[in-house]
Structure 1
Amino acid sequence: MYSNLSHTSNDGLRASYNLSLMIARKGKPHTIGEELILPSVKEVLDTVLHHKASSTVIKSIPLSNSTVQRRVEEMATDIEDSLCSIIRNTEFSLQLDESTLPVNEFLLLGYVRFVNDEFYMKSWQSL
């Protein structure tokens, strides 16, 4: 019994991270998780799968505004740390470009190229 509940909790956590990533990739407001996604999941479970969506299943997928924001920040930090680690141990080239926007704002763009595990990688960062 405990093993099954623990597995459901881990699945909910994984779903929360995956859905947070989808929200971030689409550039949607973080509140869309609770306002649209969770009610949609409940509707699909009820209507299509004819499985009454229990509140424990829905509650096991945390998608509040602050949770989504925290998950996106954690994933971004992890990616940044991984990229910095690769660049520290790899030869790379760096290109910098400066530009001025129409409203007198300056933009500095850094473009990094490197090879990692036989794959050609590119990264850029607006500074």
Structure 2
Amino acid sequence: MTIFSFLIIIILATLLVLIVHEIGHIIPIMIFNVLEKKPFYYFAIEINAKYFYVTHEKFNRHIKNFIVAICGSLFPIFISIIVINIINNQFTSLFTLLAFGNLVMLHPKLPDGKNITNILIEMRDGSGKSV
């Protein structure tokens, strides 16, 4: 395998982890929208120079917002474990490695980590509805 083909594989696996990460946010948003009698498509996908992310209105309960925030980092791991058991090759192994590396998004300095930290502070302070 050449360096060029390996770089292509890394770029494709990284893009796939990014897309699966955002799908991990979208799925619980859609479920909670239906449960709250909103249209299931009531969210927006934003793309700018720094980020590719999903925005939505906050849900009434903090636990729903917490689930949406944490699912982005956990969903790629879930998908990679399923895929690597079906197809075990270099691409799926790299995808799994990057999916676990995606857990860094839970760091409080990064967007998902900031959201989780803010949600936990709101839950602790009792502002809004309790869990």
TM-score higher than 0.5 here?
A: no
Larger relative contact order (C-alpha < 8 A, sep ≥ 6)? 2
Q: Which has the larger radius of gyration?
A: 1
Q: Which is helix-richer, 1 or 2?
A: 2
TM-score (norm 1): 0.31
